[in-house]
């Protein structure tokens, strides 16, 4: 079913997957405005792919920190986000 973009945005808490991916770092660091944080969390509740991605992202950071490789953390985050952005469609909607 092809859902119109405005309805898709409403259903996903007002954010596309691409927009949500750009907020990951600020979300995990607690730097999001409360309204944006609610939109982000609404998106996660409604988008299984982004929720899974967030958990994988957290797990990767935890592994890096546990191994004492914190110097590589920023590079890992940037690489991970670049990969996600490259594999999302331009409209930011998840592929099924």
Find the angle CA(58)-CA(64)-CA(66) to the nearest 5 degrees. Answer: 100
CB atoms within 10 A of CB 16: 21
pTM here is: 0.62
The domain spans of the chain are: 5-87
Q: With contact defined as beta carbons under 8 Å apart, do 49 and 17 qualify?
A: yes
Predicted confidence pLDDT, tens digits, the chain (96 residues)? 554 555 555 555 688 888 888 898 899 999 999 999 999 999 999 899 999 989 988 888 887 777 766 666 667 677 777 776 676 655 545 444
Q: How far apart, in whole angstroms, are the C-alpha atoms of residue 50 and residue 9?
A: 14
Q: With contact defined as beta carbons under 8 Å apart, do 47 and 20 qualify?
A: yes
CB atoms within 10 A of CB 96: 5
């Amino acid at each position: 079913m092809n859902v119109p973009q405005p309805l898709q945005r409403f259903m996903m808490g007002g954010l596309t997957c691409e927009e949500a991916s750009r907020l990951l770092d600020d979300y995990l660091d607690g730097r999001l405005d409360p309204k944006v944080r609610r939109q982000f969390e609404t998106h996660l509740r409604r988008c299984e792919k982004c929720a899974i991605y967030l958990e994988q992202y957290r797990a990767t950071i935890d592994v890096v920190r546990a191994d004492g490789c914190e110097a590589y953390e920023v590079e890992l985050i940037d690489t991970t986000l670049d990969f996600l952005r490259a594999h999302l469609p331009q409209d930011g909607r998840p592929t099924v």
